[in-house]
Amino acid sequence: MIITVGGLAGSGTTTAADVLSKKLDIPFVSAGNIFRDMAKEKGMSLLEFSKFAEDNTAIDIELDKRQVEIAKKSENLILEGRLSAHFVDADLRIWLLAPLYIRAERVCNRESKSMEQAEEEIRIREESEALRYLDIHNIDINNLDIYDLILNTKRFDPVSISKIILTTLKVI
């Protein structure tokens, strides 16, 4: 079974994928980790590589290609990434969302930033990514039609989110 988990920064995708992976006893791969590996391969810090990727569409294309290759080699996998559902033939495609203030609160707690800084960085990042996704892949990140399950994580903790997903898996 292949499951993709996508969502914007701070929506809880990595945490949900990790909890779900443990409950289902199947591996999970994060597109963010693949991106970090690519940075190491280039001998760059994550920040340097992110800047490099802004002007180099080959980076996004390579990231997507690596996700597809990993999924092809896997019988059971949870793949976490914003665009994973668009490139991988998944049995269940999940999109997690939450209001900006909730996502910013999670980011500021995780990264020791102020709420204002977290909100501003999220807005800038999301605008940049939305333009890149549209330009490179012709994907409108705000069009959620591809997803089987869309879940607002505002009121749910990671264990509750995994229970909702597990219940969904029973009916598909």
Q: Is the pTM of this model over 0.75?
A: yes
Amino acid at 119: E
pLDDT in tens, 84-120: 999 999 999 999 999 999 999 999 998 888 999 999 9
pLDDT reported for residue 172: 79
pLDDT: which is higher, 125 or 149: 149
Q: Assign residue 138 a region: left if phi > 0, alpha if psi is -120 to 50, beta otherwise?
A: left
Residue of 41, 2, 38 whose CA lies nearest to 20: 2
pLDDT band at 67 (very low <50, low <70, confident <90, very high): very high
The CATH number of domain 2-164, selected from 3.90.1490.10, 1.10.10.10, 3.40.395.10, 3.40.50.300: 3.40.50.300
Give the whole-angstrom CA distance, residue 62 versus residue 69. Answer: 10
pLDDT higher than threshold 90 for residue 55? no
3-state helix, strand, coil in the chain (%, to 5): 60, 15, 25
pLDDT reported for residue 12: 94
Domain residue limits, the chain: 2-164
